[in-house]
Structure 1
Amino acid sequence: MEEKKKLDITQLIGFALIGAVLVWYTMSSKDKAPAEETAKTEIVNTNNSQNATDNTIVTDSTLQAEAVKKYGNFAYAVASGTEEEGTTTLESDVLKLVIANKGGQIVEARLKEYDDYQKNPLYLIKDQNADFNIQFGTQDNKLINTKDLIFEPSTSKNGQNQVASFKLKVSNTQYLEYRYELKPNDYMIDFSVRSVGLENVINSNNQINLEWNLTAKRQEKSIKYENQMTALHYEKEDGKFDDLSVASEDEETEENVDWIGYKQHFFSTILLTNTPFEKAELKSESLVKDALVDSLVTKSFSTTAPLKLTNGALSYNMGLYIGPNIHENLASYNKGIENVMNLGWGIFGWINRNVFIPIFHFLSGLLNGFNGSYGVVIILMTLVVRLLMSPLVYKSYVSSAKMKVLKPEMDAINAKFPGKENQMKRQSEIMALQRKSGVNMMAGCIPALLQMPVFFALFRFFPSEIDLRQQPFLWADDLSSYDSVFEWSTHIPILSSFYGNHFSLFPVLASVAIFFYMRMNQGQQMSMQQPAQEGMPDMQKMMKMMMYFSPIMMLFFFNNYASGLSLYYFVSNLLTLSIMFVIKNYVIDEEKILAKIHENRKKPKKTSKFKQRLDEAMKQAQAQQEAQKKRKK
């Protein structure tokens, strides 16, 4: 029994050892199989990777050969897909720029403090609407367009300024560089173009052209009105400013150009250069053929200007302004770029720059402390202007009153010398009467003429004042655009093109006010008007026609204009009516005027040399008229 038990124990131990060996063997086989399989997979992947590398080498070699054939030395700058789409962003509190590696040019420019008419972020450059290119030839007879090639970007800091450098390389030491420097809270970007080590690459015998194109995107409520205020402006080296036509396609070739501005109503993109362009070919084309259909862009601008080499190299320090048209800001650069704002020529522009802009900004700054609206600012500005001009209104009205007092005597002269044959004698007697009475026949015209510059200056001020943009007042949602209270979609061929598809209320109020103003003013004029002379136009009929014609024209013309201007004229005419009413009823006394005239007649009169020559001329004309009568008899 003991031997049998020992045998059983020995067998059990043997079986256990055999089982352990089998388990070890089995486990060892399972671990080995996946390892071999993994090894095979890695080999396959390695082979595939090797094949891909071989294919890339072949592809790159092909591309490189094509690039060398097309671009010559600049084949170094040719890159593939993902690098072409690379961009660099420069951003300040007011401006955000996105610059593409391809072409080294700005592809997005956003004005962060402004929105477009739909309250979306305002971009002056986006969606490939701008294009900056330098075209030149190389020594190996290749034509290079920088917009087609890849620049190598790098960024740095210059104090608080952000700097982006883009290099179009021939080698690591030979390149064409665009350098952008963005300053905090400034819309002016320092921009330079220079070449390094390309003296033996660029062909100096071929013309080097800078090409700059931009299609102006719609930013405002009325595209028709915006298009009228969108234009290409430029300054020549002699300090003369000019612009291309806003109404149709226009092009000019100018010499020694200091800057070129693509103005888009309230915003501008301006290229300045410290080295004037010797010649610039400028072109502008209106893209708005029908304001009801063409609703995305206004005008296309293009500039082509040759660049010159200095000691075989390009070296241009420029500036690029991308921002709002604010007169004070533009003038602060001392480059004359404030002239992109069409404030009027001569005396009209002087009045806007030195009178209306300071008054408007003073009042707006004053009211901002009380959360005042710009509609209230316009009303206060109207009050200030009318009070300043009230002496002219007074002088004009006094002159009219004097003429009214003299009317019976002038009627007597007309009756004494009737007919066309006595015209010269009649005029001579009337002038003598006026001179003797101390009445100047031009005194009533001069105040009216002095008010005309103010009218035309305001006509330019309101469309240019960016502070009115998107500012609401009463029913108007934008004082820089029309104030529609009713709109319709039906297209009426003639009416829609001239009047528009909306009804504005402020122009109606302004037209009614100007009608009553002209009626009161012409009532005073007609009361002293002389009867129509034979062969002379009937002034009374003409004045009556103007009294009805002017408000109607204003009604139609101002329907698409800035509602701020219509508001001004409405308030201005109401104030003028009030001032005239006060002058007529409480200031002017016709009896005192008559007494003053009698006193003037008693005083000896000194005749000026001008009046003496005028009297002599009239006497000669009268003598010739008498001689003609005798010859006829």
Structure 2
Amino acid sequence: MQQNNGLDKSQMISFAVLCLVLFGFMFYFQNKQSKEEEVKAQQQKTEQVKNAVKQTQASNINPNVTPNAIQTANLANNELKLEFSSLGGQVSKVELLKYKAYDHKSDRADLPLYLITKNNSNYGFQFKDKTGKVINTKDLVFSPTVTGNAVTLTANYNGAAIQFIYTINNNPKAELKDQYTLDFKVRSQGLAKVTSDTKADFIWDYSVRNLEKGRAQEQSHSEFSYAFNNYKDYDYDGRTTMEEEKETLNWIGVKQQFFSSVIEAKNGFTHSKGNQETVEEGEYLKKLNYEGFVQMTGNELNQDFTWYFLPLDLPLLKTYDKNFDEILPLGWSFIGGMNRYFFMPMYNLIASWGITAGWVIFLMTIIVKLILSPIMYKQHKLSAMMKVIRPEIDEANAKFKDADPMKKQQATMEIYRKAGVNQMAGCLPALVQIPIFYALFRFFPNFIDLRGQGFWFAKDLTAYDDLIKLPFKVPFLGDHLSVFALACTIVILIYTVMTSGNMQQPQQEGMPNMKVLMYIFPITFLFFLNTSASGLSWYYFVSNAINILIILVIKYVILDEKKIHAQIQANKEKPKSEGKFQKRMREMMEKAQQQQSTVEQQKKKK
């Protein structure tokens, strides 16, 4: 019987030509791509605090308030540009000055990045007056006054005064963490004469704006995030509802792929609940609604809050010491540890050499391969040994073709034992690769240092590349083909061809053909990678290309099949002591065979 021994020399040449074509294709589009990213050295300059209060139009949230009656006030520092509306006394606009949003029309990240604008955020404190009427501060009209780096908005209701005082740190020398912070104090006077409530209901409605290229990816990363137990514990919720009736939340935030809007209550939010709804198309990704209680002192609403409008940059998040670093979804436990203490530091170290992001990932792949090389070597050596003893396995299968399957399995295991082949050793590389893959799956779409970093035809390594546009949408694939995902699929198929030659075919009817399943896997992988971060596809393209080179080097340079065959024959002549695992497997098989024989004898008696 002819065996599949991997690739012959002509196939090796084909693989080399394919790699050259792919790399040539990539370099062609690199030169074709414009250099717009090099032009923008500095973004907008710091705007001074505006003391004038100007008129503006707004959506008619309160039908009793005309648009011309709504006023706005502004504050700014090096990182944030903020606008406040007199309707509800709310933050009505938040722009992060050092970042840009993706423009679907121009296919570039060149739009101002607004976390809040066009009334996508709407919040207020709700309570009942003594007549039972529900009052919400978001429906009240406030009068704004700007003093230095603070805006005071004052509203009156039945003789009671409510003030919202917002303060920003606009000192250019202030710490970076303070420049993403907005102090928010709520003060009331005379409210005790209006209400008997001892707590107010904080209600926050927020629609997540589409800021990134990959809509589906960004949508999946948009969710509630919150801390409790004095900032020690953290949780998130990407489902339709969230309920924390028993916990006191220290802060509640709406997380997006790379940014987050967070409000912290100094005395906490109680009886928290919320819901979220996915938006299928348009400017918004999700609608989230939150509700939680804050205490009133002597029926007066005197509480301190802080707003944070944050880029999800890990070093920055850690400086707050409020568990904000958990907002970044790098994976739980060991997976998150790999990203925090291995992949991120390694990326930053290599990037500090002045290398572009794509080549940083290339070098990262090589380093990971070098670390795993002893394990990979054992795997490929095992594969070579399996190929050498394949004729004996086939002979045993033919000999016990019509016999009990258990006997066939015992005979196969005996061949492995005599040859000194440990099948379990082949599982180790696969087990090692699983946490690495999941860690990288979390790393590439969440590492803000990669955001906006282009490589060849991929304009952003945290999103898919869509160089090949389709005239229609394909289910689960979309309206494009990612070249990086396509290239990765091709090398995985080649690797599969090279490694599937030693795979034993099913001997029993109804058993799945593992070779067919192995060929299907790369195709299904294309559907997954096509809408994922192109950085992930590039990493696995390089990784699998290196795997192919390793196999070729091991096969034609390092390992000698004749020597391996001689070693196996020598192993057969040596007395073999059974290991605990082998002994247990043999005893289990013998016991199962005994039970099967007993059952067959009982059937014959009947």
- Under a length normalisation based on structure 2, what TM-score does the superposition of the two structures give? 0.78
Determine the C-alpha separation between the residues in 1 that align with 2:234 and 2:212. 30
Deviation at 1:587, TM superposition (A): 2.0
Alignment of 1:144-159 (within 5 A): 144-155=135-146
Shift, 1:351, TM fit: 2.0
Counterpart residue type for residue 224 of structure 2: L
Distance 2:584 2:300 in 1: 69
Residues 282-297 of structure 1 mapped to structure 2, 5 A cutoff:
282-288=274-280, 294-297=281-284
User: For structure 2, which runs of at least 5 residues remain unmatched after alignment?
Assistant: 1-61, 104-109
Which SS does the other structure have where 2:274 is aligned? Answer: strand
* Corresponding residue number in structure 2 for 1:519: 497
Q: 1:608 to 1:517 in 2, by over 3 A?
A: closer
2: distance between equivalents of 1:113 and 1:103?
28
CA contact (8 A) 1:287 1:300 kept: yes
* Alpha-carbon offset, residue 352 of structure 1: 1.9
Which of 310, 318, 335 does residue 323 from structure 1 map onto?
310
Indicate yes or no: 2:533 matched with 1:562: yes
The counterpart of 2:233, out of the listed 231, 235, 239, is 239
Q: Cα offset for 1:366?
A: 2.0
Is the 1:136–1:202 contact (alpha carbons within 8 Å) kept by the matching residues of 2? no
What do residues 235-291 of structure 1 show as CA deviations (whole Å, max 9, x unaligned)?
A: 44372412123xxxx122223233322122222112233433222121111112xxx
> Shift of the alpha carbon at 1:423?
2.2
Q: What amino acid sits opposite 2:308 in the alignment?
A: Y
8 Å CA contact 2:273–2:291 kept in 1: the answer is: yes
Report the counterpart of residue 514 of structure 2 in structure 1.
542
SS across alignment from 2:525: helix
Give, in whole Å, the separation in 1 of the partners of 2:576 and 2:299. 79
Q: Does residue 1:352 correspond to 2:334, yes or no?
A: no
- 2:181 aligned residue (181, 189, 196): 189
RMSD of aligned residue pairs (Cα, Å)? 3.1
Q: What's the CA shift for 1:606? A: 5.2
**Structure 2: distance between partners of 1:428 and 1:306:** 67
**2:561 is aligned with 1:590:** yes
Partner of residue 203 from structure 1, selected from 195, 218, 225: 195
Of residues 288, 304, 307, the one that matches 1:301 is 288
Corresponding residue number in structure 1 for 2:357: 374
Instruction: Give SS of 1:395's match.
Output: helix
Q: 1:393 maps to which residue? A: 376
Deviations 1:2-61 (Å, cap 9, x if unpaired)? xxxxxxxxxxxxxxxxxxxxxxxxxxxxxxxxxxxxxxxxxxxxxxxxxxxxxxxxxxxx
Aligned partner of 2:425 in structure 1 is 443
Displacement of 1:442: 0.8
C-alpha distance in structure 2 between counterparts of 1:173 and 1:502, whole Å = 59
The residue number in structure 2 matching 1:138 is 129
The DSSP-based 3-state class of the residue aligned with 2:213 is coil
Aligned twin of 2:221: 229
User: How far 1:130 sits from its partner (Å)?
Assistant: 1.0
Higher helix share: 1
Q: Which residue of 2 aligns with 1:552?
A: 523
Shift of residue 155, structure 1, vs aligned partner: 5.0
* Structure 1 residue 416: Cα displacement: 4.4
**Cα offset, 1:196, TM superposition:** 4.6
* Contact 1:109/1:126 (8 A) holds in 2: yes
Tell me which residue corresponds to 2:10: none
- Counterpart CA distance in 2 for 1:265 and 1:414 is 54
Q: What is the SS of the residue equivalent to 1:564? A: helix
8 A Cα contact 1:139 1:200, kept in partner: no
Aligned length: 527
CA distance in 1, matches of 2:580, 2:379: 25
Instruction: Show the 5 A alignment for 1:12-411.
Output: 84-118=69-103, 119-139=110-130, 141-155=132-146, 162-168=149-155, 175-182=162-169, 184=174, 185-186=176-177, 188-198=180-190, 200-201=192-193, 203-205=195-197, 208-237=200-229, 239-245=233-239, 250-255=240-245, 256=247, 257-288=249-280, 294-367=281-354, 372-411=355-394
Separation in structure 1 between the aligned mates of residue 445 and residue 424 of structure 2, nearest angstrom:
34
Displacement of 1:564 in angstroms is 2.0
Query: Would you say the 8 A contact 2:197–2:299 is kept in 1?
Result: no
Shift in Å, 1:436: 4.6
Tell me the CA shift for residue 102 of structure 1.
3.0
Q: Which amino acid is the alignment partner of residue 616 of structure 1? A: E
User: Residues 123-181 of structure 1, C-alpha deviation per residue, up to 9 Å, x if partnerless?
Assistant: 11112111111111234544321122233545556xxxx44443445799964444434
- Give 2:476's aligned residue: 498
Please list the CA deviations of residues 499-541 of structure 1 after superposition, one character each: whole Å capped at 9, or x if unmatched. 3333332222111111111111212x33xx2x53335615xx3
For residue 560 of structure 1, give the secondary structure of its aligned residue in structure 2. coil
In the TM superposition, residue 583 of structure 1 has moved relative to its aligned partner by 1.8
* Percent identity of paired positions between Structure 1 and Structure 2: 34
Instruction: Find the residue that maps to 1:517 and give its secondary structure.
Output: helix
Secondary structure at 1:320's aligned position in 2?
Answer: strand
Structure 1 counterpart of 2:487: 509
Aligned-pair CA distance for 1:382: 1.9
Cα shift at 1:212:
0.9
Deviations 1:549-606 (A, max 9, x none): 2332233333333222222222221111112211222222334434444555566655
**What is the distance in 2 between the residues matched to 1:414 and 1:560?**
44
Q: Distance in 2 between matches of 1:554 and 1:415?
A: 36
- Among 450, 453, 469, the residue aligned to 1:487: 469
Give me the TM-score of the superposition, normalised by structure 1. 0.75
C-alpha contact 2:191 2:301 (8 A) present in aligned 1: no
Deviation at 1:194, TM superposition (A): 3.8
Aligned with 2:288: secondary structure? Answer: strand
> Hey, what's the Cα distance between the residues in 1 that align with 2:194 and 2:361?
58
Q: CA deviation at 1:112?
A: 0.3
Shift of 1:303: 0.6
Larger-Rg structure: 1
* Contact kept? 1:252, 1:283, Cα under 8 Å: yes
| Equivalent-residue separation in structure 2 for 1:204 and 1:259 (angstroms) | 26
Amino acid at match of 2:518: M
1-structure distance, mates of 2:193, 2:163: 11
